[in-house]
Every structure is written in C-alpha cells, then in structure tokens.
Amino acid sequence: MSKGVLTLKPKGITADGKGWLVGIAIGFVWLSPLFWMDATTFIVLTAAGLAMGMIFFMVASGLTLIFGLMDVLNMAHGAFFAWGAYVGFSLLGMFEWLGWVETGTFLQCMTTVLVILAVAFLVGALIGAILERIIIRQVYGDHLRQILITMGASFVMVELIKIFWGLNDEVVAVPLAFRGSFDIMDVVVNRFRILAIVLGIIVFGVIQMVLKRTKLGIIVRAGVENREIVETTGYNINRIFTGVFCAGVGLAAMAGVMMAMFKQEVHPAMGDDSFFFALMVVIIGGMGSVGGSFLGSLMLGLAFNYVAFLLPKAALGVNILVMAATLLIRPTGLFGHEE
C-alpha cells in the first residue's frame, strides 16, 4: 500500500484500547439513515442490503481466493459470473419443463436452486480449469500480462455467451417458493433475499472452515506464502493452485446465478458491474482476507441500499466513498496486513 502521509497515522485504530469508540462510530454511521426514514423502511432496506451484500460476497469470495490469496489479477472473473447466470437461466428453463419453477412446492424449488447452483459452480470450475491450464499458468507473477490475457479471455467468454444465448436481455423466473415476501408486523422482507443471506453465510462458513481447519487449507496458505517450500515438501502446487482457481471462478458462477434471480434478468455484459464491485470489496476487506471480504460486502450492500433510497443518483458513488474512507483509515483494508 502507499506510503507517505498515511503511514503517520497509528496502524489500526483499535491499537490504543479505544475499540468501543470505533464501535460507537460504526453504529452511528450504520443507524444514521434513521434520521431520514422510518424504522420499517430502515429494516426493509437493511434486509435488502444484507442480501445484496451476500451476493457481492459470493462474487468477491472467489476474487479473494484468486486475487487476494493467489495474487492473480483475473479480469475474466466477471465473465464467469455472467456464464453462471446464463447457465442458471437455461437450467431454470429445464426445471420449468418439470413444473418445478412456476408451480413447484417449497422442496422442489429448493432442489431447483441448489442443483442450479451446483451445476453453475461445476461449469465455472470446468472453464476455469481450462483457462488456468492454458493461459494463467504462463503468467503467474506477472500482473500486466495477467490483466491483458485474462481481459482477452473475458471478451471471448462474453462473445461465446452471445453466440449461445443471443444478444438480448432475458427475463429470469424465480422459483415460486422464493417469490413474494414475508410480512412480519409491516416489515416486508423478500423471500429470495432471505435465501441469499442464508446461502452467503454458508459459503462464508465453508470457505473459512476449509482454509483455517483443513490440511488443504494449510497447503493453500503455505503455497501462497512460499511455493518452493510446499513443492519440496512433496505437494504438487500447480495442481493445488488449479484447484483454488477453479473454486474461485466456480464461486463467481454461483454468485451469477444468485444475481440473475435477484435482478430477475440476465444480459451478456452483466459481469462487468459485479466485477468492479467485487474488486472494491476485496480492497476494502484487505487482500486475501475472507473475513474482510465478508464485512466489506455487507458494508457496500447496506450503503448502496440506504443511499439508493435517499439519494438515488448518488448510489453508485457511495461505493467509492466507502472504499476511500476505509483506505484512509486503514490503508491495507479492514483485515489486511502490511507485507
């Protein structure tokens, strides 16, 4: 991270035992929209923001693995997201043929969503394996070439979407059980958003568990720090990194499915926006920190929804604002460490 004026600030605001002050400040900022809206609206927007944040997290978690951990700048991440969305769109069509989308029971709808997420993950991972083998492996450690070549891959993948599925926007049907809302004492919470929140938490838990508690996680973290030691210990680090890359883009594809159902539409360039969101999340959270990405996504999701309600035109800018504010206070991101 940049040196200079910023390094004059103490590292980490909680260092001098004033963590509670930070807590109050965060609480104040979080609750500040209440000045301009009533509590019910606030809760509705919060639920929406959390759901959006969880979808951001799923895109960003893949990027955290690939960019944060493996230090590969994969500009095709958004294209994987779009691929996942389109695979989801096609599969929804097939499940509709079974009658599990427009008229399904809760169980059928749940199965539909889970199967689609799994297939999207696999398709993403498969394309990822090919991409990593052929392209990425040649450019490890070279950011400029990574950007250029994955940008090219991204164009190819988006054009392929246009060939397979056409140029137009398509409407995505949400399975019946996840349409509509729960109405709890006038607070209207969209059902799909609850699904998104639950799934996001599960994805977060699984990634953390694998990285922190399993031998595979140890090997991955070790390989990021020093490939040579891991290799001379007896592990095929190339194969492991291929696996991490596949998992990362698979997560992007899963997030694509969720976003397609969240926005109820797909279009070929849909990956671009979410890629930049994900990039911001990873930077806010701190490179390579899954926990940081999780918090960062929630911050962006919430801020976006509050501001979109109060000042619709400022909604896109608020992300940049959150990012800038975070980096001013912590130049390495929320949970980032200085090298």
Partner 1 sequence: MNEIILTLKDVHAHIGQHHILQGISLQVKSGGVTVLLGRNGAGKSTTLRAIMGLATVASGRICLGDDAIAGYKPYHIARMGVGFVAEDRAILYKLTVAENFRLSMLMETDATWQRMETIFLLFPDLKRFWNVKAGLLSGGQKQMLAIGRVLVNDHRILLIDEPSKGLAPILVTQLGESLIRIREKTTIVLVEQNFRLARQVGSDCFILDDGRVVHEDRMASLAQDRGRMKKYLGIG
Residues in touch with partner 1 (CB under 8 A): 215, 218-219, 221-222, 225-226, 228-237
d(CA 196, CA 304): 17
Shortest distance in whole angstroms from residue 191 CB to partner 1:
42
Shortest distance in whole angstroms from residue 52 CB to partner 1:
32
Q: Is 85 helix (H, G, I), strand (E, B) or coil?
A: helix
Q: Please list, in sequence order, all residues whose beta carbon lies within 8 angstroms of the beta carbon of residue 259, skipping any fewer than 6 positions away.
A: 55, 59, 81, 85, 270, 274
25 or 229: CB nearest partner 1: 229
Q: Please list, in sequence order, all residues whose beta carbon lies within 8 angstroms of the beta carbon of residue 113, skipping any fewer than 6 positions away.
A: 175, 178, 195, 261
141 or 234: CB nearest partner 1: 234
Q: Please list, in sequence order, all residues whose beta carbon lies within 8 angstroms of the beta carbon of residue 21, skipping any fewer than 6 positions away.
A: none
Cβ-in-10-Å burial (0-12, 13-18, 19+) of 138 comes to: exposed
Shortest distance in whole angstroms from residue 20 CB to partner 1:
27
230 or 295: CB nearest partner 1: 230
Shortest distance in whole angstroms from residue 334 CB to partner 1:
18
d(CA 98, CA 174): 15
Apex 321 CA angle, 318 and 326, nearest 5? 130
Q: Give the residue from 265, 258, 214 showing the smallest Cα distance to 240.
A: 214
Shortest distance in whole angstroms from residue 234 CB to partner 1:
4
Q: Give the residue from 268, 292, 271, 266 showing the smallest Cα distance to 281.
A: 292
Shortest distance in whole angstroms from residue 233 CB to partner 1:
6
Which segments of the chain are extended strands (E)?
Answer: 170-171, 181-184, 187-190, 265-266
30 or 235: CB nearest partner 1: 235
11 or 263: CB nearest partner 1: 11
215 or 313: CB nearest partner 1: 215
